[in-house]
Amino acid sequence: MEETEKTCAAWGLDDGVHEAQGLKPMLTPEGQVELLKDKGVTFDRCTEEQAIEALAGRDTFLHIAAFRKMFQRHTDGDSAGKYVSLDFADLLNMDELDAEVRSCFLLVSQDIERIVKTRLIERISLMPGEDGYGILADFMQSQVKGYRVSIERNLKGRIGKHGSADEYTGALIAHCSEAMPIWVFLEVVPFGTLLAFCLFCASRWDDRSMRMRHSMLTEVKAVRNCCSHGTCLINGLAEGKSSEYETPHLVIEWLAEHGFKSGKSRRAKMGNRRTQQLVTCLAALDGVRNGASPSTVEALVQLGGALRDRAERYGQENSFVSYLSFIAKAIDSTS
């Protein structure tokens, strides 16, 4: 994509609104097709007309084209830098798989959040020293002022007039606004606040295993956010995408228990941040297996088949194939 010398008003994180030159031009779907052709993408199994239609109505160029990075490029000769036997149909195929992965893991993360919340409330109800009100008071008091104010502002903003600002939770928040019990609080706050409360409880009860599960839940939250926002996921399942974080110890134990022997292959796969987080979700779900919804179980079975189908279709010459197979095997371990 050629840069333009035109001066544009642009916005940046550091400089705010400013004038800039040498920026990439905005392309029409027709221009996007030409750009992909220049990079070696073919339009044999998907015509240019069909590609233009997809780029105009199915998904954005940024999203669909992101999957090209999963495929091989020529390293020398006249075609150096261009993709090897990559058709636009392959990009659509991977876009479809990405949607399946996100849809399935959104169900997985929602099940985990629901079950964690339910079991936490049950535990509090069974503890003689807890009444469901004081623990929330202590939690809010323990938070730094900025975070506490953020929680309060969010809840107050959803009340509106007679709870009308948030059709789904506003009335409930308004009804309990003077003395909110923990079972209402956890019903109306986001996943991140639930995690903060879990960490508070782990410290309050001196529960080491709960602290370890909290580290897993932070990974679940990251996947849930990706899936909810429709961000590309599988385009990062490739070599060279190393994680800066260690895999949670409970996940390492789960892998060993399910036949994933420690070795170069497992380390390579779990060294990839996205694989690491997806497998952590599966391990967390397996830990609360009895609470998983039938729709989640069915979605996992279908996704496992879709991953194996793509792995067989694209062969071993593409590095992402081994990652798809690894995740498919991990899905099988939850059944």
* pLDDT of the residue at 317: 73
The overall average pLDDT reported for the chain is 92
pLDDT value for 244: 85
The string of pLDDT tens digits covering residues 239-264 is: 766 788 889 999 999 999 999 988 88
Looking at residue 4, its pLDDT comes to 58
Per-residue pLDDT reduced to its tens digit, 47-99:
999 999 999 999 999 999 999 999 988 888 888 889 999 999 999 999 999 99
Q: 207, 227, 202, 333: which is closest to 277 by C-alpha?
A: 227
pTM of the model: 0.92
Q: What is the DSSP letter of 87?
A: B
Cβ atoms within 10 Å of 68's Cβ, excluding its own: 19
In single-letter form, the type of residue at position 255 comes to: L
Distance CA 217, CA 198 (A): 10
User: How much is the pLDDT for 200?
Assistant: 97
Which residue is it, tokens 């190393």?
Answer: 242
Tell me how far apart the alpha carbons of residues 211 and 271 are, in angstroms, rounded to a whole number.
Answer: 22
- Range 277-290 average pLDDT: 91
Interatomic CA distance for residues 323 and 333, integer angstroms: 15
- Going by pLDDT thresholds of 50, 70 and 90, the confidence category of residue 233 is very high
Domain boundaries, the chain: 8-86, 95-130+209-332
Quick one: pLDDT band at residue 186, thresholds 50, 70, 90? very high
- Which carries the bigger pLDDT value, residue 289 or residue 64? 64
Query: Regarding predicted confidence, which is higher, 316 or 213?
Result: 213
Q: Is 281 helix (H, G, I), strand (E, B) or coil?
A: helix
Q: Tell me how far apart the alpha carbons of residues 84 and 291 are, in angstroms, rounded to a whole number.
A: 45
In the three-class reduction of DSSP (H, G, I as helix; E, B as strand; rest coil), residue 27 is classed as coil
Angle at 273 between CA 272 and CA 279, to 5 degrees: 90
- Structure confidence at residue 8 (pLDDT): 87
